[in-house]
Structures are given as C-alpha cells and as structure tokens.
Structure 1
C-alpha cells in the first residue's frame, strides 16, 4: 500500500511539474549605444504594407522590454526611433532576447523563438541565392556583350538553372516545414511574385498542416486561393472558342433579360461591359453606335452590361439610364448596379471597356476589340 502511495505521489509530481505552454511573450532587449528615452516599437503590417505599432518600449540603460500575447507565431517588425529600416521577426509566446545592432539594423538578432530561427535560416538562404543570381547575370551579360560564343550557352544554362532554384526554394522550404507557422508567412509572401506559379502555390498550401491553415492568416490565404480558382475558371470559360457563360440581369425598365435571349435573335452578338462613370467607355461608345447602326440589319445584336454602382457614385441607376440616352445606345442594356458584379467576375473582367464577340451559337470568336479593329471583325463575320 505504501508503495502504491509513493508511486501515485511521484506521478503527481511529474505531471504537476510539467512545463506549461506560455500564453504570452516577453522580449528582453539589449540596445548597446542607444540613448535613454529612445523608443522601440513592435509592429504589424497590413495587406497594403502599412505599419501599425502594437507595443512600445523605452530604452533605459541600454535595455528595454516588450511584452504581450499572440494567437500563434506570426510575423512582426521591430523599428527603432533614429535607426533606419525595420527588422522582420517571428514572435511567439515565449521568453525572447533581442539584441539591437544600430550600426547595421538587419544584423540584429532575436533568440528564443524556434519559428524565427527557421524563418531567419530561410532569409539567409534566399540572400545567398540572390547574390549568386546577380553574379550569374553579370557573367551572362558579359558573355553576351563580348559575343563569347564559347561560354554564352553555358552561362545561359547556369543562369536558368539558378533562377529555377531561386523560384522553387520557398516551396521546397515550406514542404520541409509544413507544420511550422513561419511557412505560412513565407507562402503568403509568394503572392507578391511577378510570375506566381498558381498550381504550385495552391498545392503547397493544401499540404500545410491543418492547424496552420486554420489560423486567421491561413484562412485569409484560403480565401485568396478560392478567388484564384474562380479567376482561372472564368479565364478558361471565356477563351476564344468557349461558349460564353449565360447570365441575366434587369434592363432599365426592370425586366430580366438573358444573354441567350439576345444571342437567339442575331447572327453575331457583342457583350459590351461598360459604365456611365467610365471615360474610356463613353469615348468608345460612338464607335460602337456606328458599328451597330451599320450591321444591325445584317444580324448584329449587342447586350450592354452596365457596371455602375461603384462606391461614391450618386444615383447609379439614373446615371446609367442617362448615359444610355445621351450616347444613343439603342441596343439591349442590363445592369445589377453592383459595380464589378458576378457577371463581370464570371467573364474575368477587371477593367472596362471590355467586349466579347459571339457567333450565333454563343461561342466566343473574338474579344477586347475597339475602334476600327471591332468594325473590321464584325464586317468579316457578317459581310
């Protein structure tokens, strides 16, 4: 019996002494050379790149302390009054040590965060690859200028391989660390890439651990991916040769008009996305009127899709109807008066004017033509 009691007591000690996960962070800072009264800020950054301070500390005797709590390890930025630049760091709920290097702020070090260690390792490797890329480009350009045919081909191949390695590295790093919160930060940064590989981006996101994807940032990326998928779908459905997606909307009298109703009446149909507030659209309208008047009797139909209703527009319906009258747009007109609405998204329309030319079966045969190019295409189809 005594033996059992001792075992139970030891078990309680083991479990009672188990280290609990912290629910707050403390950043103990060292700031050698900084004067008393200098402020140190912990910041977040929004989608537009705007910095917001969430905590402030004052340097005293070359030390400072920042503390608070984060929902999960996430990217923050340290800034210091009088010191240029900002230091990206992954903050997690732990006791952290930050050593400020005011001479070269980017060399400042944060210790105590495993997530930040992984993120810093990634940043170091990216800088290394970027330097190699710069050197490889210089070497290739030199061979090109000197017409050094002996080395040009090899230099070009080396550069292309290095570019591929550079572009693939973030995804490879994330695959190795898909359970780490810092991977979410790295993946999010890929959205700013000029040549985003959407397929690889989506695949990498899908392979992240579920607890990473369910964070607020993870859900935000998930929503962006849904938008990307919708855009890809609309791009595919509005390519030349595809059947134009069906839609319907109210005309100025409130009657619902469908695309199929208009297509069935003519040999060729133009879908014209425009708006009363759109200067380029209004300047293009006289040309569309000219084409319509010239070819309507030969089988040309037009359905205008008004994208009025943008924020700040006064009386969008009145503006839309007035523009129809002022510009003599005597063909079919519809609008949900909801700016770039679901019809525009279905057609992947991000700017106006935007036009789609359909044959008598509703198949897209041309798009985004203006002026003489539009008239010539309609003439080709109907003459």
Structure 2
C-alpha cells in the first residue's frame, strides 16, 4: 500500500511538472547595467498592428522574472525603460533565459524557446544580406569619387541583385520552414507589404501541418490570405503581363472612343483630374515625354476623374486644365469622379495612376511617374 502511494505521488508530481511546463512561461532575465527599480516590459503586436503591453517586471540586482501563459508561440517584444529600442523573440510556454543587451537590445540572447530558433535562423539570414550590402558599399567608397562607368554599373547591378534576393528571402524561408510557428508570424508580417505574392504564400500555407493551420495564429493567417486572394481575383486581369482590358468612354466633344482604337506602339493610360494637385504637378513631365516620343509611336489616353462633389462645373474644370497644362493627347471622361466606369474597370482608388502598355496592349508597368515613367517609355520605343 505504501509503495502504491509513493508511486501515485511521484506520478502526480511528474504530471504537475509537465502541465506547468506546457501551460506557463517563465522568463528569467539578466539585465546587467540596468539600475534597480527600472521596469522591463513585455509587449505584443495586436491584430490591428498596434503594440500592446502584456506584462512587466522590476529589475533588481541586474535580474528580472516574468511569468505568464500564451495560447501558442508568438512574436513578442521586450524593452527596458530608458533603453533605446527593444528585442524581438518567440515566446512560448517554457523556461526561457534572456540575457538582455542594454546597448543593442536586438542582440540580446535567448535560450529555452524552441520556436525562437526559427526566428534566429531568419535573422541570421537577414544579417548576411546586410553584411553583403555593407561590403558592396565599402567597395564603392574605396573606388573614390569617380569610378569608371562600367565599374559603377557593376556595383549597382550587384546591389540590385542583393536587394532582389533579400526581398525574396522571406518567401523562401517560409517555404523551407513550413513547420514553424515563426513562419506563420512571418507570413502575417509580410502580408502588409505591397510586394506580397498572395498566390505563392497561399500555396505554401496549404503545405503547413494541420496543427499549425488550425492554431489561432494559423486561422488569422488564413483569414488574411483569403481576404488578399479575393482582392487579387478582382484585379488579376490588371497584373503586369496581362492584356489591358478594352474600354469605351466619351471625349470632351461627346464622341465615343475605345482603348483599342487609340493605343499606339506604347500607350500610357493616365488617370488624373483637374482637382488633383499631384496630377497637375506631374503633367509637365508627361508633356515632355509625349513631345519626345509621340512621333515614335507613343499615345496617351487621359482618363479624367472630374465630377467631384465640390466641383460646380466639372466639365469646364476638366477642359480648362487640359488647355492650361498643354495636354495635347486623347482625353475621355464620364465626369463621375471615382465612379467613372474606366476607373472602376482598372480598380483606381487614388490618383495619379498610370498603366503603361506595349504595342500588343500588354501591361508592362503601373503607376510610374517622373524619371521612372520616362525610362520605361524610352525602353519601349528606343530599343532597336
């Protein structure tokens, strides 16, 4: 009976210990150099993208302890009052040791969090890109003020290549670490970037194990991916490489014209309005491009979004702006503001906006302005 009781107690203790390890986290921190009484704060980014403080501890004798629980591993931030910046790590229910770097918090050391290893792997990969970029810039400076043009071009190409690989790195990392909670967090962070490739990330997400997809973070990521995919489907026909959808609209004298009848060897569809300050400031640049390349086959179709509620006579404002700015190309508008049918077809929610088409009517670029627009037209029409 006594042996049975001892076994029962030992079993209870072991189970209790395991439950504590699985359901709680204990952060033991070293914070040498931080005065007694200074607070260390634990924070997280909420679903709206705002940093929210979750807990804090007071430093005593260079040490602090924070205890709590999380539903699943997630990205957290740790900072100390009076210390610039914060450190980032993956917090999970386990015993975690943090050696807080007061000078460079991002270089703090974390042990005891399995999910944090993926985050560290990612950071090490990003560090290599930073080191590569620094090496390229150091080489450029060593060449002096006037390096040879071919050398300058070679260095610029090396830098551009490095930046492209850096932009592609998060996607390749998630693909190679599809069993990681950090990868879920990384997808969520990357989804706000304009370069986010919804098709590829959606495919990778489907390869994640079930327990990750069914986790709270996994469900949030799925919801975000589904939202972005729905938005993508609405504009898929407007992606670079697609044939620009044809449209019909009215000229200032009431005639109906179509894109297919007006496009040239290169075509700019320019969404603008008389009331749009940035559009009017860009117009001189567009005029210069038109004068330089119209004889080589450039056509421009100005789609006006005049008809704003505060315009007393939108048509007069439209025509006056055309004359004042010297816009000698084709113009169309329904004078319905952002409800213009062409604007809706091309998913225009702000102006200025441009679509650049090649001779076949294929979209080759979008929303270029200034020198970038001039260089693209030069590429299309000056290339033998």
TM-score by structure 1 length?
0.58
Match of 2:378 in 1: none
Is 1:333 the counterpart of 2:334 in the alignment?
A: yes
Q: Which residue of 1 aligns with 2:276?
A: 278
SS of equivalent residue, structure 1 residue 333: coil
Equivalent runs, 1:27-176 vs 2, <5 Å: 27-45=27-45, 51-139=51-139, 166-176=166-176
Displacement after TM superposition at 1:123 (Å) = 0.7
Query: CA 1:167–1:271 in structure 2 vs 1: closer, same or farther (change >3 Å)?
Result: closer
Q: Distance in 1 between matches of 2:203 and 2:313?
A: 48
| Separation (CA, whole Å) in 1 of partners of 2:256 and 2:149 | 62
The Cα offsets for residues 87-108 of structure 1, whole Å up to 9 and x where unpaired, read as 1111223333322222432332
For the 8 Å contact 2:199–2:229, the answer to whether it is kept is no
Q: Indicate the SS of the match to 2:86.
A: strand
Deviating more after overlay: 208-217 vs 192-201:
192-201
SS at match of 2:115: helix
Q: How many matched pairs?
A: 319
What displacement does 1:23 show?
4.2
| 1:207, distance to aligned residue in structure 2 (A) | 3.6
Q: RMSD of aligned C-alpha atoms?
A: 5.7
2:242 is the counterpart of 1:244:
no
CA contact (8 A) 1:238 1:245 kept: no
Greater mean alpha carbon deviation, residues 216-225 or residues 93-102: 216-225
Report the 3-state secondary structure (helix = DSSP H, G, I; strand = E; otherwise coil) of the residue aligned with 2:126.
helix
**Displacement, 1:135?**
1.6
When residues 137 and 304 of structure 1 are mapped into structure 2, their CA distance, relative to the original with a 3 A threshold, is closer
Which residue of the partner structure matches residue 220 of structure 2? 216
Work out the CA distance in 2 between the residues paired with 1:56 and 1:28.
Answer: 12
Q: Name the structure 2 match of 1:351.
A: 350
Tell me, in whole angstroms, the C-alpha distance in 2 between the residues paired with 1:344 and 1:196: 24
- Cα drift, residue 79 of structure 1: 1.3
Distance 1:100 1:307, change over 3 A: farther
CA shift for structure 1 position 178: 0.4
Q: 1:350 to 1:34 in 2, by over 3 A?
A: same
Gap change, CA 1:33 and 1:305, over 3 Å in 2: closer
CA deviation after TM superposition for structure 1 residue 321, in Å: 5.9
**Does structure 2 retain, via aligned residues, the 8 Å contact 1:271–1:304?**
no
SS in 1 for 2:132: helix
Instruction: Please list the CA deviations of residues 49-69 of structure 1 after superposition, one character each: whole Å capped at 9, or x if unmatched.
Output: 753323222223433333444
Change (3 A) 1:204 1:103: same
SS of residue matched to 2:33: coil
CA contact 2:273–2:304 (8 Å) conserved in 1: no
**How many angstroms apart in 1 are the aligned matches of 2:282 and 2:30?**
63
Aligned mates of 2:93, 2:335 — CA distance in 1: 55
Q: Which runs of 5+ in 1 are unaligned?
A: 1-5, 248-260, 286-300, 309-315, 371-383
Change over 3 Å in CA distance of 1:43–1:343 after alignment to 2: farther
- Check whether the contact 2:274–2:280 (CA below 8 A) recurs between aligned residues: yes
8 Å contact from structure 2 (residues 27, 67) kept in 1 = yes
Max radius of gyration: which structure? 1
Alignment partners' CA distance in 2, 1:368 and 1:152: 28
Which TM-score applies when normalising by structure 2?
0.58
Instruction: Give the distance between the partners of 2:276 and 2:69, measured in 1 at CA.
Output: 47
Q: Indicate the SS of the match to 2:64.
A: strand
How far apart in 1 are the matches of 2:201 and 2:168?
Answer: 10
Q: Matched residues in 1 for 2:270 and 2:93: separation? A: 55
SS in 2 for 1:138: helix
1:229 and 1:173 map into 2 onto residues whose CA distance is 26
**Deviation, structure 1 residue 167:** 4.7
Contact 1:276–1:320 (CA under 8 A) maintained in structure 2: no
